[in-house]
Every structure is written in structure tokens, then in C-alpha cells.
Structure 1
Amino acid sequence: MPPRHRAETNRLADLTLVHPRRCGSGSADSQGTEETTVVFGISIDSIVAVLSLAIPAIAFAWEFVVVRRKRLGYRVQMDTLATDTAHAPGADVLARMHKNGRELQEPSFVLLRIENAGRKEIVESDYLAAEDDKTGIRVTFRQRQVVGMAVTELSQPELRDFFITHNAKGEPIETEGFGSGEEDGAGVIRLPKVKLNRKAHYKVLAVLERKTGRPGSEFPDPEFRADVSGRHDRWLGRFRSPSQLKLAATESHPFASKPALLLIGLLTAAVVIQSSVTLFFRPVPPPLDCVGGTLYLHGSTAFGPAVRRAAETYVSLCQGKGARIPIDDGTFLGSTPGLSALERAGKQAKLPGTTGLGDHIAFTDGPAEGSHPQVLSRPVAYSAYTLVVNKKAKVRNLSLAQIREIYAQKITDWSEVGGAPIPIKFVGRNRGSGTRTALVRRVLADANGRPGEVPPPTVNDCAKLTSENGSCEVESTQTLLQKVAEIDGALGYSEASSVSGAPDVVRLRIDQKQATLDGIEKGGYPYWQTEFAYTFGELPAGSIGAAFLQYLTDQGGKNILRRFGNRPCSETEYPLVCEPRDRFPG
């Protein structure tokens, strides 16, 4: 017969006993809600980090402060048939036990451990029962009857008095509430309302025999039942009626085993470290000196997307100082219009003496043309530009000589350079555009360095360009890209990073060199330009203009410039000149 040992079954569950004096309007079943105020601007990472710390703390408090105040548990440390013994000499005596001369039928041994697994002591009033009912716990054994039992291993000698008393003759007898019997045809052990200090326990050893069921079949597990006081029906009543709750088992380690404790400790350390990093170490460092106020930006449409993102980040970081940088469709209108707007604002401010304007900055593609005696420049980064062509032209690479001949209108059809038989149409920027200036100076210039020319507009609306050759001009980079995508055979130019995601537009290589920073610095790609920041006089110390320019050039704004395909001047060999390394021989 296979062994039926069920030693150390360790089926986990808990029974919470609530002292009547702790109940009432302020009892533990009344759960409050905690209001959390979320300040605008806090990142989702910070919220998650706070929750990752708060939730374990709340769970810990619930488990150890609320649930484990009063917890009574049991363990079935042994439940085995006497016939399961090994066939050593003398072992049969266990299987041949008698009661009143009658041999027991399939005798079995059960060892129970009852313990206080909570944080508080357990007293008689914690057991829900009538005052004249001295039984606190009932253990039912289906298909078996109790032959005899004894209380063993008391955690403290004083517990003995809850089980054994003496009659008038001085003879020891069982106390009220302690004993065995039958209920509904099943054997029952009744245990008294024992006071148990924290971690206190006692054990009960019982001998039972089969009463019903098929001989040799396995017995059902013992059923523990206890009536408990307090408003437990809200939490545990869903499993049993309020007056008949099944007492559940505890492990030999009421909290956790040593390996589990080690794992919990490592997990807690990981959560604390991750949350601390998220809360206190941000990937983008804030400006060293946040300054409030309103800053107005102007200038290059090509450089505008990078500056816009940097401005949004600065405002987010410095909103506590009241920083504002309003940006709309009229902010970046081109290098020359932006410079004009800066000079106009400076004159209208009527600044005294040599005081500079601290709330306006203009950005230009390359140095400003003409005379501007009251504005000062500072190089910020250099950028890669690219020629763009409508995809129906079937062209992806042109030589520098071919580009010059196309803009000189010596080549008028894409088929002449290996493309589709479609006439070439020019979509350009208005005069004063820095992107256009970079094109005529760096790409179309002749061998002597004289700037080239772009075809003058033949129509005042790009929509009028049809199947014939022609040219038109637009005011912004985004409009140029849109028109190149719409007009078959159109050719234009743009900052390289602005082309990403533009539909029906192809970035042209020049002599197989790509429009990237590596193409400029290592391959001699010719179409690039230095981006300048212009101010009206020296920016006053402590102005929002000075703070933002510092952020853009020397702090977190540099990361944004890189993401938009620019090389910050501070990373070049000669920051005040801000040109690629190969421009300086030796």
C-alpha cells in the first residue's frame, strides 16, 4: 500500500480575529481614500516611481498592521495510517491497536499544531461563541472517529491549565470545551478557548480509526472550523457564513522562508534603486539657471524645428519660474525676415545707453548679409542641407557639375541625367533665405568661389507650374517640401532633418555623398551651413534670452540639436568659427 503521509502539509491561509473592543465606527473594515494632488508638469515616470514605493508600503501596512493583529492558525504536521509503517520487527503492533478489547479498523495518527501567527495576543473573547460554550475550535474528521488524544508540546507550561483541571477528589479531568465526540457521523476534536501570546502554540496528538468509506481509501483532510468575533463577514464572509468559518493553515514560517525573505529583500532594493533613479536623476539636466519672463524667437525656417523643441523643453523645465516662449506659424519666417524683426524690436524698445535687448533672439542660416551695426552674432551649430526632388524624376544622385548645369538651365529634363523624361521645375526659397544663400555659395559657386545663381521665378504661384519648365518661390521650408512632393519633376532644397517623413520627396546625394554630419566631416559633402544666433546688443545678464541661449549651446539643448542632425559648435575644433574639421588644413 503506498504511503499516505501528509506531514507538514503547509496549506496557506489565515484567520483574522478582531477583538470586539476594537470594532465600531473606526474599525478596520472602514477603508478611507487618500486624495493625491498631481501638480501639472510631473512626468509619468515620477508618478510610476512614487506608486512603486507607495503600493508595497501600503501592502506591508495592511498585512502586518491590519491583517496580522489577530491571527489564529493551524498546521497538520502528521496525518498517517498506522498500516503505512515500514515492515520492521515489531512494527505490526501499531496496526493492531485495541480499544476495550476490539482491534481498531485502519487506525491513523494525527498531529495538529495550533498557534498564534499574529502580532497581538489572543484571548477568550476573541472566539465567537456563547459565554457558556467553552469550545473555541472544532476539528472534523470525515469517515473517521476519534479513539483518543493528548495535548503535547505546550509553548509555555501555563497553557496546560486550559486543557486539564481537577475534580473534587483531586483527580485530573478534561476542562470544559476540550474533548472529542461526533457530529453528523464524523469524528470531532473540540479545543478550548486558549489564551495565546504572540508566537505561542500547542500540539494535539490523536488516534483515530476508520468508520465509513471504502477500506484502504484515503481519508479526507481534517476540517478546521472556528467561530470568531468582529465584523469579519465583510472580508471573509464570502467564503463561509459569518458564524462558521473554516480555520485555515499556516506555514512553519508564518511570514516567509529564508530564501523568500532574501528574494523579497533583493526585490525591494531593486524597486528602491529604480524609483530613486527615476525621481532624482533625470536624463535631460535642467538649465543651471532658470530665468522667467517671455522670450520671442525669429528667423530660419530650416533651423526652426530644432529651436522650437529646445524652447518647449526649456519652458517645461523652467515653468516654475514663469518662463514663456510663444511659438506659432509666424515665429520662423526665414533668416532675413527674422533679423529684420529683431532689429525692429530693438529700435522700438528704446533701450538706454548700451543696454541690450534680453527678450528677442533671431536665428539665421549662415552669417547675415548686409550691414547690421546694432546686432551681434554667435555661432550655435552647423547643419546639413540637401537637394530634394520629386520621386517621379527617378533620380537619387547627381554630380556637383550636373547640379550646376541644371541650375544654369543647361540641363532641362531629368532624362538628360539618367532620370525619367520629365521637365525640370524649380521650387526655391525667397531671396534672403539662409538655405538659398548656402546653396548659391557652397554648391553653385564656380571654381573661383563666386556665388552661383538660381533661376528667377517664372510664375507667382507654384500651382501654375505644369508640364513645361519653370520656377517658383515659397516662404518656408515646409511649403517647399510640400510643393516638391506635389509637382512632377520638381527640384528644391531644405535642411536635411526636415525631409524625414516627407512623402513623395527624395533626398539627393551629391557625388554619392550623403547629406549627413559624417558626409560633411569625413566625405566632403558640400551643402551645409553654420547656424547663428543674433541678438540686439549684448544680452543682459539674468535675462531669459541669455538663459535660453546658454541652455541651447552649453546645457541640455545640445542634445536636442544633435537629435535634429546638427553639430553643436562647442563640439567643433574651433567653436567660434564652427565649421567641420576638414575645413582647417593640418
Structure 2
Amino acid sequence: MALATLGVVVPGIAALYEFVVKGRKRLGYRVQMDTTASNVVKTQHDGPFAQLVVGTRKLEDPTIVLLRIENNGATNIDEGDYSRSHADDTGITVTFTDRNVVGAVVTEVSDTNMGSSFQNGGGFTVTENVLELPKVPMNRGEHYKVLLALERADGGKGPRQYPPPDVDCTVKGGVGGGRIQETKSRTGTPKRVLAMIGFLVAIVVAQLVIFASSGDSAPLDCASGHLRLTGSTAFEPVAREAAKSYHDLCPRASFTLEMRGSGEGLQTVDQAGRDGSATDRLTFSDGEKPTGMPGLLPRPIAFFLFTLVVNGDAGIQDLTLDQIKQIYQGKITNWQEIGGNNLPIRLISRNPGSGTRAAFQRRVLAGEREPGSNSDDCQTRDPGSPAGVVRCARDTTDAVLRTVASTPGALGYSELSAATGRNGLISTRINGHAATVEDADHGTYPFWETEFGYTYGEPPANSLAASFLRYLTNQTGADIIRSHGDRPCAELANPQLCHPT
């Protein structure tokens, strides 16, 4: 199937090269008007048309010609594209047969910037029957027009005659990598475009025939089978959307999602690998695996942003790193102490084993571990617990966000996309910097982490696990990651941030 497809695609590419690349620079010209100014029928409005003169000399059988010069190619034309030498200001030469040029003026430019090419007479000269036009830069589709007055070249000494409707002239010039050609005024779709459309339709039809005859309409990288996805609850929305998108493209693949935290996902796949049953498993972790799991291999998937979230009643929108550390150490217990409202601080955290919690401890608390919980309801301390800040923990990102939104004075953390747009929540800045990829990429926003995909050992290249990992890092997967507010690793200004340390 692949060879047959190449047999169709390669000629298509060659045709595109012929249509688009080889002739991409083209100068076109055409005579839009060629009319006699002799034998004027006398009327009360004939005015100057009844007697055309140069100085005191009456023109012999004068004609009026309108010449249009246009860029009808696929790319812009600059001064350096003209075939004449750089020392020659002339770009195009127009030579008329049996007629001399007695007057010429530029009457229309599609872009006013082109007018500068005709100033000071550079490259614009008239010598008997020859008109020289300058090297005019023109963007694709632009044009200019020259109105000319012509007369008989024999000065009226020969038999009286009137020129035919189409002026006889020769246009010489050219552009590098292209050509100059006479064009015709026309409406409707050009033949070149019709030919291209027809050829592309033929390619599509040929591909449909090839795929139909193969009995398999799935893309080349589609894999079949079943894959269990585990790990980060923060990454779950991306994983779920990507799994659905992959299944829509490859119907013989199916997925089960069991996202209960990075730590649990890593342990599950590691144990399955030791038991010899991990070929159908893939887990995602906010950050690197812990030590003691040498069989798990990481693949950087995305640059993930996290944010601190505070209940809207706290009156806080910006915290310094030092203030955050003091809050989690229990040294600051009321928002009023740092300029907020008079509300006690309540900390809503993730359970131990959470990748989001690990990222928070590593990136924001400088490696310091959060103290354990002292509350189940996140409102009051459990009986017998020491005095201090109320602390509780939840299993998932969504549970943390719901609890912070419903608890006055609450502070928590989560993946940025999950927190965005939630009622009752404010995503706080850290040291004055919002959670943006640009700030994190340049080291001014600290709360981020690499999202890794882990398998036990190297999966076979044709397996669903390997194919799905490739899918997450190709264009479709990258689009899904971006749509959730995060960034594919390859798009960072400093991609090394995503690599395991």
C-alpha cells in the first residue's frame, strides 16, 4: 500500500513543482486599449481630440494605447529579480512596429509605493519607437498602467493608413527563475488552476481506490489492541481527549483510563513490569519517577504549568515565594498578616504520591516536604492535633479545586488549565509573575513540571503504547496539549527544561 501511495504522491509533488515552483515569478503584460485618434467626428464636444499636436506639429494618424504590466506569478518580484544587470535601471523594453512614441505617462499603480520607481525618470525613457520601463518591485497580483500616444513612424510620407485594433509591439525583459509573457483579459477560472484542481482530484480518487482495494483504511501508524492509561490526574484531560482522538482515527485501538495520581500510576506499572504483564500499560507522571524503579523508561511529553489557587474571599492575588514558604511552615496563619482579608488560612493539598504535590514541594517549597494533614473536613483541626494552620488533602485535582472554591480562606494548587475559569477561585501570581509558558521558560515563574510518559522497558515499535506516545508528540497531539494551556517540549525556547535530570 505504501509503495502504491508513493506512486501517486511523487508525480503529484512533481506536478506541484512544475505549477508552483518553476514558474513562480512571472511578469505579465497586455494592451488594454488601442484606438485611433484620427477621423474624429465633429461634435460640439470634440475639443482637443479633433487636433492632436506636439508643439505646433499635428500628429500623423495618432493612436492612444493603454499598456498594463502586472505580477501574475505566485511570489513577489523585487528589483534584483529583473534579468538586466544591476547597473541598468531598465527592467522592460517595449518596441512598437511602424509607430513612434510621442508621449507616455503612468496613469495607475495598484500600490502607491510603486510610484517611487518612476520618480526622477530612472529607467523610464522614450526613444522613437522604444519605451523603456524601470525595475518596479511588485507584490503578487499588483500592476501598473502606462498610457501612450503613438503616431505613424513614416511621418505621413507613405500612403494614409490606420493601425489595426491590436497594436503590434515586442516586449523584452524577464525575471530570474521566471519569465515575462503576454496575458489576456479574462473572467472565470484560469486554465492553469483548472488543470491543478483536476490533477489533485485525480490524486484523491487514486488514493481512495488504493485504500479501498487494500481493505484497510487506517493510517500507516495506526496500532490495534488495548492500552491502560494510569497516573497523573492533572494530565487526565489531555490523555482522555488524545485517547478518543486516536480511537476515532484508529478504531481497532481501545483505552481504559485509571488516573489516580502520578505515584500510584508509577508503582502500578513498575509492579506489572516486574510481574511480566506491563506491555499494555502506560503511565503519566508530573515530573520524574522516584529512585528504585530502574525498569521504567521516560518520554518527555509536555511542559506543564501549575498554579496556586486561593478562595476569592481571601483578598489575595499575588504571593512571594517567601510568603508561600512561611504559610506552609505555619508561620503565617491569617491572610490579614500579608495584606488580605481577616480570614484564617486553610491549606488544601494533594495526598502524598501526587505528582502535582511533588512538583509543588520541589519547585515552590525548594524541596521542603509539606507537613501532614490535621483535618478531614478542611474547616477545623481534628481533635488532639496541635494548634496551627488547618491542613487537609484530597485525591484528585478536581477535588482540590472544588474544596478551595467552597472553603473561605482556602489555598491550594493544581494544574493551570483545570483551574482556569473556575468560579470562586483566583490563580495567584508568584513574585509578580503569572503562570505563563514564557515566564516559566525564562525562569521567572517557578511552578511548572515536565509531564513524562513511562513504560516498563522499551515497547515494540508497532505496539499501541509506542504508537500512542508518538501520537502525543506529533502535530495532532501537540494541538491537544496546547488547547489545554500547556506546551509541547519541542516548542520551548529552552527544550532542555523537559529532559530528565
Task: Please state which band the TM-score falls in when normalised by the shorter chain.
Answer: 0.5 to 0.7
Out of 348, 351, 362, the residue aligned to residue 430 of structure 1 is 351
Aligned to 1:384: 305
Pick closer, same or farther for the CA change 1:436–1:475 going to 2, 3 Å.
same
- 2:284 pairs with 1:375: no
- 1:494 matched to 2:411: no
Unpaired stretches in structure 1, ≥5 consecutive residues: 1-260, 351-356, 446-450
1:455 aligns with 2:385: no
Decide whether aligned partners of structure 1 residues 367 and 523 sit closer, same or farther in structure 2, where only a CA change above 3 A counts: closer
1:288–1:389 distance in 2 versus 1, CA, 3 Å? farther
Question: How far is the alpha carbon of 1:577 from its aligned partner?
Answer: 5.4
SS at match of 1:401: helix
CA contact (8 A) 2:284 2:452 kept: yes
* 2:498 counterpart SS class: coil
Tell me, yes or no, if the aligned pair for 1:513 and 1:523 is still in contact at 8 Å: no
Distance in 1 (alpha carbons) for counterparts of 2:239 and 2:262: 13
Q: Which TM-score applies when normalising by structure 2?
A: 0.54
Structure 1 match to 2:162: none
Question: How big is the shift at 1:373?
Answer: 2.3
Cα shift readout 1:9-60 (whole Å, capped 9, x = no counterpart): xxxxxxxxxxxxxxxxxxxxxxxxxxxxxxxxxxxxxxxxxxxxxxxxxxxx
Determine whether 1:314 maps to 2:234. no
CA distance in 2, matches of 1:571, 1:364: 20
Please give the root-mean-square deviation of Cα atoms over the aligned residues, in Å.
3.2
Could you tell me which residue of structure 2 aligns to residue 542 of structure 1?
A: 462
CA distance in 1, matches of 2:306, 2:391: 20
How many Å separate the matches in 2 of 1:372 and 1:526?
A: 27
Counterpart-to-counterpart distance in 2, 1:515 and 1:371: 32
Does the aligned pair in 2 maintain the 1:287–1:551 contact within 8 Å? no
Query: Does structure 1 residue 343 correspond to structure 2 residue 270?
Result: yes
CA distance in 1, matches of 2:494, 2:303: 12
Q: Give secondary structure in 1 for the equivalent of 2:271.
A: helix
Query: Kindly tell me: are residues 324 and 306 of structure 1, through their superposed partners in 2, closer, same or farther at Cα, counting changes over 3 Å?
Result: same
CA distance in 2, matches of 1:474, 1:489: 17
Which residue of 2 is the match for residue 395 of structure 1? Answer: 316
Q: Is the 8 A contact 1:379 1:576 kept in 2?
A: no
**Take 2:359 and 2:241, find their aligned partners in 1: how far apart are those partners?**
24
CA distance in 1 between partners of 2:375 and 2:408 (Å): 16
Give, as a single letter, the amino acid of the residue that structure 2 aligns with 1:389. V
- How many residue pairs end up in the alignment? 295
Moved more, 431-440 or 336-345: 336-345
**Which of 530, 535, 538 does residue 450 from structure 2 map onto?**
530
In the other structure, the counterpart of 1:218 is: none
Within-5 A mapping of 1:167-246:
none
Find 1:552's aligned residue among 472, 476, 489: 472
What residue is the counterpart of 1:102 in the other structure?
A: none
Structure 2 residue runs without a partner (length 5+): 1-185, 208-217
For residues 558 and 516 of structure 1, the distance between their equivalents in structure 2, rounded to whole angstroms, comes to: 17
Residue 333 of structure 1 pairs with residue 253 of structure 2 = no
Aligned residues of 2:300 and 2:499 also touching (Cα < 8 A): no
Provide the rounded CA distance (Å) in 1 between the counterparts of 2:347 and 2:266.
26
Which is greater in Rg? 1
- The C-alpha deviation readout for 1:545-567, integer Å capped at 9, x for no partner, is 00000111134211111221222
Structure 1 residues 496, 465: closer, same or farther in 2, change over 3 A?
Answer: farther
Q: Give 1:311 deviation, angstroms.
A: 1.2
Name the CA distance, whole Å, in 1 between partners of 2:227 and 2:233.
Answer: 18
> CA offsets per residue over residues 465-484 of structure 1, 9 Å max, x none?
69984110001000000000
Asked if the contact 1:287/1:314 (under 8 Å) is kept, the reply is no
Residues 147-191 of structure 1: CA distance to partner in whole angstroms, max 9, x if unpaired? xxxxxxxxxxxxxxxxxxxxxxxxxxxxxxxxxxxxxxxxxxxxx
Structure 2 SS opposite 1:295: strand
- Deviations along 1:409-460, one digit per CA (max 9) or x if unpaired, are 1110001111110000000001111111111111111xxxxx1232321113
Whether contact under 8 Å (1:425, 1:470) holds in the other structure is yes
Instruction: Compute the TM-score of the two structures, normalised by the length of structure 1.
Output: 0.47
